[in-house]
Structures are given as structure tokens and as C-alpha cells.
């Protein structure tokens, strides 16, 4: 785990945060840092503690141990009122007794913002989220997407440069999410502010994040720029969290053959490099790297049993089984390979370079496959 | 342990009103006719008192009973000129409204604490509160009788107000906690994060969202205090008697029952209750179950 | 996920000698609020519940009769041993039990019928007014109900006796008749509380998921099949709560009996709460009646526990369904 970046330069820094409820430890030594201007996505499985992490950042829950820095200042012992953070809660939490306008103005009314500035901000956030014509409605007159836009607008209306968005798109339908994802990205860069965003949806992480932190086992197992974490994940959890569908993790065994090392899995044996000791390993293979059809030169190939397929809008996930080991792959709905699939079995192939090796205990990266030819 | 009262999903009566209205095209069916007849049978004894209130003394005591007669408002005229009747009504209204208003304020604060902070012993305190309403009133008459004697509270508004506040608190706490539980904590947090004080959250964020609970608590506690007899009888006196006590004492007023008086006073006692039931029918269920069951009828 | 070599637990951290952090301020602030908001209710509760209860407990260990001169005497458990051997009280407790079984059975069954009737006719014109008329009896103070029924049951000019004569019987003095007083009280109690059970039935029927009812209709289930497989599983908790509330209320029934029959003739209608009241305010035996009050308090606490147990069952089941 890297040392927290110097708090002074970061928008948010957590250092060694612990949080437990009764006998369950939710966060253990959680350390992270968010730079100003980041669209920082906390990615993690459901109930991995994302909400707790955000609540600690907001000051809604005290940490059992560790420190929270906002804009370089230690706010660990400060209440939520003193942290000046914009907040979009998971459920919309729009005040049912207030109009959309009053909902959006709420953070500014509490901060006693001047009338002119208030109207300006209102105009700006309404513009960004295209909700001008909803201002006089009541929350119960809005559709789910409109409620969500209003909630985001209210969060953004806070006069600050750090915003927390707790899985705001959960439960919305696919189309709506796509549109809001674009809006959120555009909004963040238009305002030039910092977003801390949590989601368990890898697609949202991939589409939104400039920086990503993967929350697993109570801590940030890996954080960094999205491309870097995606391309060369250093933790098995990061590889799984940033993949749609989730990356395959299968068991493998490494043995030394002369000066080189070979890793065998149900798919076959490939040469691997890195700091790998002989013995069991965990092999990560992204779903999209599992090819269907003819194997390319150097790839390992098998015939897999096709369990079922799932249409996820534009692409099709294939759930497979190889010698009892479940795997998945993904194909475009229009692809020729998909059309060629018969029933019962599928020929699959994986390039050795797609193999990423993790230590089975620490689940950190120890090596990768070597591509020949 | 969670509080036993949370009917999930919480459906406030209003939310269902529009959909209900749509399919409510009035229709008279056989079961509808029978239902109306049943309702009239149940109301008949009260209607008989209403009729008696419009009869003269002789007509009331006539045998066979007179079903058709010339109605008169004499009894009501006599009622309002009776020296103490105004005081009984004032006492009933003052004690019920006054004590319930205080009870709801203190109960709301406590219910907020129980719902949001869940301090140690919350379940036990909620249990104790409910159990106080399940004990026969007669069991507590003696200690109250003596305590009120020591404190010089007998036949004073202060004493009876304090008593009726506590009388109204258990039900209010139960009903309000149920309603506050139904308001997502995300609202509180949205307020706090945006810089609101806890007091702002309590009164400006949560309070407007539990108005139905406040109305239900208010209406039903008013009814319960309006109806309370035993303690007013034992702890009150000529200054603080309420209508039920007046009804009771009139029974033995000078030997024979003064039926014109009882009937007209009884009518004046029942009518406000019937009107409340008519207008606040949707809260009847939560009201009659001490706030533990919510739903529609 | 398999176990990880990742960060040690707090416990092991403490073993490593890292000092525990001071409790954050936010927590103590919350504690302050949580108890601060409770203070007013606690003040009222202590003043108007705890002190009277302790007082009552204390009294129950004394020989204290208002009518006899002399100071109260501490007599330990004597009141309780006397209570255990008091035939008439156990008799009235038994009578209360009989009354409870009959009243609750009658009111549950008839209440269910009336409730179902109103549920079926939810489109009847003036339903709200009809329900108001139906529900008014239960909202009256039992004392006034007793009073109103006295007018109707009067042996000389009562309207009920008019109907009794119409069917060719002799006039009856219901409230003093040795065999009819108990049923008369039962009838009036049922008049008051059948509407309550009808209300609970309506709520129970309202809690049956509409989709399930429609599915039952599509499947062409008979009335009994619908009742057993759809309505009762969904609505039973509310009915049970209603039955429990009625049971608890029977233990409290005092004013109605007091006004109708004053427990008589003899002790024919003396329910336990009436007996308690008579003990306290007719014989002024405060110590002894306090012992009885303590006994009733325990019964009430037991019944409350049962009530909350059922309530918890219900909410747990609803949480599972959600």
C-alpha cells in the first residue's frame, strides 16, 4: 500500500481508516487519495463498504481510527456541517414537501448564499442537467430519471469544489444511465471540480472514472488512473471490478521448466514471466480476451460447455464451463462468431499475453503470460 | 433489534388516494345494502340517545316507547343554562388540547431520538411505554390518588395536565416513531452535509414529512383524553371535571337519573367524536392500535 | 473471497502497541442529542409512571386501610399470601377469563363477518358515513356506552323490553337478573368491540397483496381456497394483533361493568378490574388492593410481551417479503 500523497496537495486523503460494526470489520487500514479535478470512482462489489467509506468522508460516521483530510486539512473530528462537501445520496432523498426549485436551492439557503449568486447557480445546474421546466413541480410528480437529475442538481448547487456521489445511478434503467453518465462527465469538467463517486457497476467505473480506487477486503486494493489500472491491474480485485462482465479468475499451477516457468490451467499450459514461485497461482483472464472460434497462433484453446447467454444491450455474455470451471466471455450481438455458435459447446481460445497471475493468498500481481510468435 | 413498528413498505394513506379514486365508481350491491343496515344497527343505541335528547322528560319515560314525537330543543336550552355545563366543556377541551399539545412535542423529540440514535435501552423503553397503556387503569388509581394528595395536585389543572401528558405520551411516541422510521435517514444526512444543524433537521427536514403521524397522534390522543373517566373522577373535582365525569355524577343526581340532561349532554359529548371519526377515518386503524399497525380501511 | 494477508484487524493492531484513537467528537455529540431529546419524556415517565409504580409496589407490603385509624404497618408478603388464598378474587379472575374467551370469540367472528361485508362493498354510496356510524360505538368511553344502554335496558320504560314484550315475553330487568346480567354486559361489550374487530379485518384484508388476489381469481379458486391460501396467510398477523388488543382490554374492562351492573347482581359480573376498584374505593384496603394491582401489572407486562412478539414476527416477515 502506497503512502498517502501529501495531504496538502490532495482534494481528499484517507489514511489508515478503520471502521467496524460490532464484530464485523468493514474498513481496515483504508488509505486513498483524490487529486483536485479527479473524477474518482470507488469501485467495489456490493456491500464491500463503499457507502461506509463515503459516509466517513462526509462525516456522517466517525472512523474508529485513522484520519480524513479534505483540501489538505485534517477534518477527522469535524462534523458533516463543517466539511463543506456537496452530496448526492444513493436514494434521491428529495424533500417531498419542497418544489424542485426549493430542493435545489436548499444547500445555498443553508449557506446563506446571496440572491444573485443563488439564481446564477440555479440557472447553471439546471442548464447542465436540463431540468429548467421541472422547477415548479413537486418531487412526486417526477419520473425516476428526473428525480435523479434533481438530486444531482441539488448536490452540485452546494458552493464547494468537492462532491460526493453515492452510487447515484443505481436502479435506473440502462438508457437513462447512459445519458446521465454523459451528463455527469460533462458536468464535472464544466465545473472543474472534484467528484468522489461510488458504484458496484464496472461499466459505470469504466465510463466515468479518470481515477479509480478498488475497494476490496476493507481497503483500497489498488488506485490509479483508469487506463493504468485497467491495462495492468496489480490486484485481482481490481481486475475483477473493472471488467464487464467481471474478469475470469481460475486456478493455475506454476512449475519450472529449465530456465522458464510454465503455468497450467484448465485451458492449457503457457509460459509465464515475472516473480512467480512454483506452486498454485490465481489466473485472471478478462472476459473480452476469451475468443470464440478459431484459435490464433500461440493461443491455448479448449472446447467449453455453453451454459446460457445473456443479452446486455449491444452485446451478449456467454456463460461457459470448462472441466467444471465456470468462465464467461462477451461477444457483440451482431458478431459473426455469435451467429456461428451452435448449441451445447463453444470453441474458445486465449492468448498467453492475456494471462495475469496473482498470488493466491495476497491476490496481488506476480506475473503474466508470455506471448510467442 | 429493529423496532417492531415498521410496516414496509410504508404506504401513507394519501399516496394511495388517487388510484383509489379512479376505480371508485359508486355502486349499490346487495352486500352494500346489508353493510349499510349493519352500520345502522350498530349506531341505533346512539341514535336512541339522540332521539331522547329531542324528547321531553315525559316522552323519554313513556311506555311503550315513542318512536314518533314532536322534537324539541328544550333539553339543549336547559343544558346550556346549567351552571356547570360550560365548565365541563371547557375542562374537556382545555385538558385534552393542552395536554396533547405538550405530549406531542415531547413525544416527537423522543421518537426522533429512538428512531435515529437508538440509544441503549430503546426497545425496553418502548416496551415499558406500551405496557403502561395495557395496565388496567384501576391498578394505578391508588398511588396517583395519594401522590396527588401529597403534591396538592388534586382538582388542579396543573396536576391533571401533567397526568394527561403522560397518558398521551406512550401512544404518541409509538405512532411518531413509526412515522419517523418511515422517513429515510438520507434526508437527515442531506441536511447535515449541507450545513444544517440537528435542530434544523428535526424540525425543518423530518417534521414536515411526518405530518400525517402528528395529525393521527393529535386526533386520537384528544379522543382518549376526551374519553378518560376514572382518573378525572378520582383526581379531579368540581373545578376540573370533564364531560364523562359529569355524565356519571348526573346518574345519581338527586336520586333518579335526569334523563333529559343525560341525553342532551351525551349527545353533545358524542357528536364531536363522530365528526372526528368521519374526517379522520384513515387514521382510525393506527389510532386504535396504539400506533402499532398502519394501513387503510 | 479467501482470507487475505491484507491489513491486520483492530485487535491485532492494538496488540502491536498502537494506541487506540480517542473517541471522535461526532460520537459524543450524537450521544448528547440522543439523551437530550429523551429528557422531557423521561421526566414525565419517571414522575407519572416510575414513581407511582414504586409507590404501588411499596404499598403492597403494608397493611394500610384508610378507614381504620393508625399508621400503615409493614407486613412483608402477607398481602400476597392473602391474595393467593382469596377465593372471590380467583373467582373473578376466572370470570374475567370466561368473559375474555366469549367476548373475543364473538367479536372476532362477527367482526370478521362485518369487516368482510364492508370490504366487499367498498363502492357502496356513503361508505365513509356508514363506517363512521359503525365505528362510533368503539370510540365512546365505555362509561357513556353503559349509560346509553341503561336507557334502553330500563326495566320500566326501556325500548328493549318493548321488543321483549312484542315477542310475547315478560319484561326483564337485565342488569339485575342473575342469569342475564353477564350476557347483557357481554352483548354491550360486543356492540362496542365488534366494530373494532371489523376494522382489524378490513386492515387485514387490505394487507393482502392485490396481485395475489387477482391471481386467485384467475385460477378460479373457491372462496374457502382463497381464504385459506391467500387471505389468511397475509392477514393473520393483523387479526392476531386485534385479538391480543381485545384480550388486553378485557383485563381493563371496568367502567362499562361498573356503570351497567356495578359488578352485580352479587358478584355475577365482577371482572377483575372491577374487583380491584371495589377493593380500593369501597373497602379502602390500599395495601391489599395494591398487591392485586401488582399482580395485574405483571399480567399486563406479560401480555405486552406477547403483543410485541407477534408485532416483531410480522415486521420480520414483511422485511423478508420486501
Residue A231 is predicted with a pLDDT of: 86
**CATH number of the A7-235 domain:** 3.40.50.300
How many beta carbons lie within 10 A of that of residue B1, not counting itself? Answer: 8
What tens digit of pLDDT does each residue of B237-274 get?
989 999 999 999 887 766 778 889 999 999 999 999 99
Residues A72-86: what's their mean pLDDT? 91
Identify the band that residue A7 occupies on the pLDDT scale cut at 50, 70 and 90.
Answer: low
Residue A5 is predicted with a pLDDT of: 46
Q: Does A61 touch chain B (CB under 8 A)?
A: no
Residue C28 is predicted with a pLDDT of: 67
Superfamily of domain B85-288: MetI-like (1.10.3720.10)
Lowest mean pLDDT among A53-57, B152-156, C28-32, C306-310: C28-32
Residues A72-92: what's their mean pLDDT? 90
Residue B219 is predicted with a pLDDT of: 93
B195, pLDDT greater than 60: yes
β-pair type (A291-292, A279-285): unpaired
Identify the band that residue C27 occupies on the pLDDT scale cut at 50, 70 and 90.
Answer: low
Q: Does C7 touch chain A (CB under 8 A)?
A: yes
Residue C6 is predicted with a pLDDT of: 36
Q: Does A365 touch chain B (CB under 8 A)?
A: no
Please check whether the domain covering A248-369 is classified as CATH 2.40.50.140: yes
What tens digit of pLDDT does each residue of C79-91 get?
899 888 888 888 9
What tens digit of pLDDT does each residue of C111-133 get?
999 999 999 888 889 999 999 99
Question: Quick one: DSSP state of residue A157?
Answer: T
Above pLDDT 70, what percent of chain A? 98
Residues C166-171: what's their mean pLDDT? 88
* Among chain B residues, CA nearest to C252: B136
**Which of C10, C25, C27 is opposite residue A65, by nearest beta carbon?**
C10
Residue A341 is predicted with a pLDDT of: 76
Residues B78-88: what's their mean pLDDT? 89
**Which of A89, A97, A107 is opposite residue B189, by nearest beta carbon?**
A89
Average pLDDT, chain A: 88
Domain parsing of chain B, residue ranges: 27-72, 85-288
Domain parsing of chain A, residue ranges: 7-235, 248-369
Identify the band that residue A2 occupies on the pLDDT scale cut at 50, 70 and 90.
Answer: very low
Report the predicted TM-score, pTM, of the whole model to 2 decimal places: 0.85
* Among chain B residues, CA nearest to A82: B195
| CA proximity to C5, closest of A217, A315, B61 | A217
Residues B60-78: what's their mean pLDDT? 88
**Topology classification of domain C86-142+180-321:** MetI-like fold (1.10.3720)
List subunits contacting chain C, requiring 3 or more Cβ pairs under 8 Å. A, B
Q: How far is CA C300 from CA A151, B137, B229, in A?
A: 48, 11, 20
β-pair type (A365-369, A260-265): unpaired
List subunits contacting chain A, requiring 3 or more Cβ pairs under 8 Å. B, C
User: CB–CB of C148 and B128 under 8 A?
Assistant: no
Residue B18 is predicted with a pLDDT of: 40
Kindly give the interhelix angle for B85-116 and B74-81, rounded to the nearest 10 degrees: 80
Residue C235 is predicted with a pLDDT of: 87
A207, pLDDT greater than 80: yes
CA distance A122 to chain B (A): 16
User: CB–CB of A96 and B193 under 8 A?
Assistant: no
A 82-111 residues with CB < 8 A to C: none
Q: Does B152 touch chain A (CB under 8 A)?
A: no
**In the block, residue with C-alpha cell 484520519:** A67
User: CB–CB of A95 and B208 under 8 A?
Assistant: yes
Mean pLDDT comparison of B21-25, C100-104, C266-270, C292-296, highest-scoring range = C100-104
Residues A340-344: what's their mean pLDDT? 74
Residue C22 is predicted with a pLDDT of: 43
* Alpha-carbon gap, residue A370 to A366, rounded angstroms: 13
Q: Residue A136 burial (CB < 10 Å; 0-12/13-18/19+)? A: exposed
Q: Residue B93 burial (CB < 10 Å; 0-12/13-18/19+)? A: middle
Q: How far is CA A264 from CA A132, A146, A248, B147, C317, in A?
A: 60, 52, 15, 86, 49
User: What sign results for the dihedral spanned by CA atoms C201, C203, C209, C213?
Assistant: positive
Q: Does B187 touch chain A (CB under 8 A)?
A: yes
Which helix (DSSP H) or strand (DSSP E) does residue A211 occupy?
strand A211-216
Q: Chain B residues with CB inside 8 Å of C140's CB?
A: 46, 227, 270, 273
Identify the band that residue C225 occupies on the pLDDT scale cut at 50, 70 and 90.
Answer: confident
C 28-57 residues with CB < 8 A to A: 29
Q: Chain C residues with CB inside 8 Å of B64's CB?
A: 162
Identify the band that residue B65 occupies on the pLDDT scale cut at 50, 70 and 90.
Answer: confident
* Alpha-carbon gap, residue A15 to A32, rounded angstroms: 7
* Among chain A residues, CA nearest to B185: A93
Residue C263 is predicted with a pLDDT of: 85
Above pLDDT 90, what percent of chain A? 40
Average pLDDT, chain B: 87
Residues A31-46: what's their mean pLDDT? 92
Residue C322 is predicted with a pLDDT of: 63
Cα of B289 vs its chain's centroid, Å: 12
Radius of gyration of chain A (CA): 23
Residue A245: asked if its preceding bond is cis (omega within 30°), the reply is yes
In the structure grid, which three cell numbers stand for residue A240, read together?
Answer: 475483477
- Can you list the alpha helix ranges (DSSP code H) found in C121-230? 127-139, 142-153, 159-166, 181-206, 210-218, 223-226
* Among chain B residues, CA nearest to C318: B8
* Alpha-carbon gap, residue C248 to C184, rounded angstroms: 21
Residue A23 is predicted with a pLDDT of: 84
Q: Does B210 touch chain A (CB under 8 A)?
A: no
B3, pLDDT greater than 50: no
Residue C8 is predicted with a pLDDT of: 39
Question: Quick one: DSSP state of residue C174?
Answer: G
Residues A141-169: what's their mean pLDDT? 91
Residue A201 is predicted with a pLDDT of: 87
Mean pLDDT comparison of A256-265, B150-159, C268-277, highest-scoring range = B150-159
Q: Chain C residues with CB inside 8 Å of B128's CB?
A: 45, 49
Above pLDDT 70, what percent of chain C? 91
* Alpha-carbon gap, residue B175 to B293, rounded angstroms: 9
Q: Which residue has the higher pLDDT, B251 or A189?
A: A189
Which helix (DSSP H) or strand (DSSP E) does residue A307 occupy?
strand A300-311
Residue B188 is predicted with a pLDDT of: 95
Which helix (DSSP H) or strand (DSSP E) does residue A311 occupy?
strand A300-311
* Among chain C residues, CA nearest to B7: C315
User: What sign results for the dihedral spanned by CA atoms C108, C114, C120, C123?
Assistant: negative
User: CB–CB of C251 and B136 under 8 A?
Assistant: yes
A 71-100 residues with CB < 8 A to B: 79-81, 83-87, 89-91, 93, 95-97
What are the backbone dihedrals phi and psi of residue C271, each rounded to the nearest 5 degrees, phi first? -80, 170
A220 contacts A34 by C-beta, under 8 angstroms: no
Q: Chain B residues with CB inside 8 Å of C144's CB?
A: 244, 247, 266, 269-270
Q: Which residue has the higher pLDDT, A177 or A147?
A: A147
Amino acid at each position: 500500500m502506497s503512502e498517502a500523497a501529501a495531504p496538502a496537495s490532495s482534494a481528499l486523503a484517507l489514511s489508515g481508516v478503520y471502521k467496524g460494526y460490532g464484530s464485523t470489520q468493514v474498513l481496515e487500514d483504508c488509505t486513498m487519495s483524490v487529486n483536485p479535478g479527479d473524477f474518482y470512482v470507488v469501485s467495489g462489489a456490493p456491500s464491500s463498504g463503499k457507502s461506509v467509506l463515503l459516509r466517513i468522508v462526509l462525516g456522517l460516521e466517525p472512523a474508529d481510527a485513522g484520519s480524513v483530510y479534505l483540501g489538505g486539512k485534517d477534518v477527522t473530528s469535524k462534523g458533516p456541517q463543517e466539511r463543506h462537501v456537496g452530496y448526492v445520496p444513493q436514494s434521491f432523498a428529495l424533500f417531498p414537501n419542497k418544489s424542485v426549485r426549493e430542493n435545489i436551492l436548499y444547500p445555498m439557503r443553508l449557506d446563506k448564499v446571496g440572491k444573485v449568486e443563488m439564481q446564477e447557480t440555479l440557472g447553471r445546474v439546471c442548464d447542465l442537467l436540463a431540468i429548467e421546466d421541472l422547477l415548479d413541480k413537486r418531487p412526486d410528480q417526477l419520473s425516476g430519471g428526473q428525480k435523479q437529475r434533481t438530486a444531482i442538481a441539488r448536490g452540485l448547487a452546494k458552493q464547494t469544489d468537492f462532491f460526493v456521489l453515492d452510487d447515484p445511478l443505481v436502479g435506473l434503467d440502462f438508457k437513462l444511465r447512459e445519458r446521465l453518465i454523459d451528463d455527469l462527465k460533462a458536468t464535472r469538467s464544466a465545473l472543474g471540480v472534484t467528484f468522489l463517486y461510488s458504484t458496484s457497476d464496472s461499466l459505470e467505473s469504466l465510463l466515468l472514472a479518470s481515477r479509480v480506487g478498488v475497494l476490496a477486503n476493507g481497503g483500497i486494493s489498488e488506485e490509479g488512473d483508469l487506463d493504468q489500472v485497467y491495462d495492468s491491474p496489480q490486484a485481482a480485485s481490481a481486475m475483477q471490478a473493472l471488467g464487464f462482465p467481471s474478469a475470469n479468475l481460475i486456478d493455475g499451477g506454476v512449475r519450472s521448466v529449465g530456465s522458464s516457468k510454465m503455468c497450467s490451467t484448465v485451458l492449457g499450459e503457457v509460459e509465464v514471466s515475472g516473480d512467480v514461485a512454483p506452486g498454485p497461482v490465481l489466473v485472471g483472464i478478462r472476459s473480452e480476451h476469451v475468443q470464440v472460434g478459431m484459435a490464433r497462433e500461440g493461443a491455448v484453446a479448449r472446447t467449453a460447455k455453453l451454459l446460457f447467454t445473456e443479452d446486455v444491450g449491444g452485446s451478449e455474455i456467454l456463460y461457459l464451463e470448462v472441466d467444471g470451471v465456470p468462465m464467461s466471455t462477451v461477444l457483440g450481438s451482431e458478431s459473426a462468431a455469435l451467429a456461428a455458435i451452435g448449441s451445447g459447446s463453444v470453441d474458445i481460445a486465449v492468448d498467453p499475453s492475456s494471462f495475469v497471475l496473482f498470488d493466491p493468498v495476497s491476490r496481488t500481481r506476480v506475473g503474466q503470460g508470455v506471448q510467442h510468435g | 433489534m429493529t423496532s417492531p413498528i415498521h410496516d414496509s413498505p410504508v404506504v401513507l394513506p394519501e399516496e394511495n388516494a388517487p388510484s383509489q379514486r379512479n376505480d371508485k365508481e359508486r355502486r349499490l350491491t346487495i352486500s352494500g345494502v346489508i353493510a349499510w343496515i349493519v352500520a345502522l344497527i350498530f349506531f341505533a343505541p346512539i341514535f336512541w340517545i339522540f332521539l331522547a335528547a329531542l324528547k321531553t322528560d315525559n316522552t323519554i319515560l313513556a311506555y311503550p316507547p315513542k318512536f314518533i314525537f314532536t322534537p324539541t330543543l328544550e333539553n339543549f336550552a336547559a343544558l346550556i343554562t346549567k351552571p356547570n355545563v360550560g365548565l365541563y366543556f371547557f375542562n374537556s377541551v382545555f385538558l385534552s388540547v393542552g395536554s396533547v399539545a405538550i405530549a406531542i412535542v415531547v413525544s416527537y423529540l423522543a421518537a426522533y431520538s429512538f428512531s435515529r440514535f437508538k440509544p441503549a435501552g430503546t426497545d425496553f423503553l418502548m416496551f415499558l411505554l406500551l405496557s403502561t397503556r395495557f395496565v388496567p387503569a384501576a391498578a394505578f388509581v391508588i398511588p396517583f390518588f395519594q401522590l396527588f394528595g401529597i403534591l396538592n395536585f388534586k382538582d388542579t389543572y396543573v396536576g391533571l395536565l401533567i397526568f394527561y401528558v403522560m397518558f398521551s405520551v406512550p401512544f404518541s411516541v409509538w405512532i411518531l416513531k413509526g412515522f419517523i422510521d418511515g422517513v429515510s435517514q438520507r434526508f437527515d444526512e442531506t441536511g447535515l452535509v449541507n450545513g444544517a444543524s440537528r435542530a434544523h433537521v428535526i424540525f425543518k427536514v423530518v417534521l414536515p414529512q411526518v405530518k400525517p403521524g402528528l395529525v393521527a397522534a393529535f386526533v386520537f390522543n384528544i379522543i382518549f383524553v376526551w374519553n378518560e373517566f376514572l382518573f378525572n373522577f378520582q383526581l379531579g373535582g368540581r373545578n376540573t371535571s370533564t364531560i364523562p365525569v359529569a355524565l356519571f355524577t348526573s346518574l345519581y343526581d338527586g336520586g333518579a337519573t335526569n334523563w333529559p340532561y343525560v341525553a342532551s349532554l351525551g349527545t353533545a359529548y358524542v357528536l364531536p367524536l363522530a365528526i372526528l371519526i368521519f374526517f379522520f377515518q384513515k387514521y382510525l386503524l393506527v389510532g386504535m392500535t396504539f400506533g402499532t399497525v398502519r394501513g387503510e380501511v | 473471497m479467501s482470507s487475505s494477508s491484507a491489513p491486520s484487524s483492530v485487535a491485532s493492531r492494538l496488540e502491536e502497541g498502537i494506541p487506540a484513537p480517542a473517541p471522535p467528537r461526532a460520537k459524543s455529540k450524537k450521544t448528547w442529542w440522543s439523551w437530550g431529546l429523551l429528557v422531557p419524556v423521561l421526566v414525565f415517565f419517571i414522575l407519572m409512571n416510575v414513581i407511582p409504580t414504586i409507590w404501588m409496589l411499596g404499598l403492597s407490603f403494608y397493611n394500610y386501610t384508610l378507614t381504620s385509624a393508625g399508621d400503615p404497618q409493614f407486613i412483608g408478603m402477607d398481602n400476597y399470601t392473602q391474595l393467593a388464598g382469596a377465593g372471590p378474587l380467583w373467582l373473578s379472575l376466572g370470570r374475567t377469563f370466561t368473559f375474555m374467551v366469549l367476548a373475543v370469540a364473538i367479536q372476532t367472528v362477527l367482526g370478521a363477518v362485518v369487516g368482510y361485508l364492508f370490504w366487499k362493498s367498498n363502492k357502496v354510496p356513503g361508505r365513509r358515513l356508514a363506517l363512521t356510524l359503525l365505528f362510533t360505538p368503539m370510540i365512546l368511553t365505555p362509561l357513556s356506552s353503559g349509560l346509553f344502554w341503561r336507557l334502553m335496558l330500563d326495566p320500566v320504560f326501556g325500548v328493549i323490553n318493548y321488543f321483549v314484550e312484542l315477542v310475547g315475553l315478560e319484561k326483564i330487568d337485565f342488569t339485575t337478573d342473575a342469569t342475564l346480567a353477564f350476557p347483557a354486559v357481554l352483548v354491550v361489550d360486543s356492540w362496542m368491540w365488534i366494530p373494532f374487530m371489523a376494522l382489524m379485518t378490513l386492515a387485514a384484508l387490505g394487507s393482502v397483496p392485490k396481485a395475489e388476489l387477482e391471481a386467485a381469481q384467475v385460477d378460479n379458486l373457491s372462496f374457502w381456497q382463497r381464504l385459506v391460501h391467500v387471505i389468511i396467510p397475509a392477514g393473520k398477523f393483523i387479526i392476531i394483533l386485534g385479538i391480543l388488543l381485545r384480550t388486553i382490554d378485557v383485563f381493563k374492562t371496568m367502567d362499562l361493568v361498573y356503570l351497567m351492573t356495578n359488578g352485580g347482581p352479587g358478584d355475577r359480573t365482577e371482572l377483575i378490574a372491577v374487583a380491584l376498584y371495589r377493593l380500593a374505593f369501597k373497602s379502602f384496603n390500599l395495601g391489599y388492593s395494591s398487591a392485586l394491582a401488582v399482580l395485574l401489572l405483571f399480567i399486563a407486562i406479560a401480555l405486552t410481551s406477547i403483543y410485541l412478539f407477534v408485532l416483531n414476527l410480522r415486521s420480520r416477515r414483511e422485511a423478508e417479503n420486501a
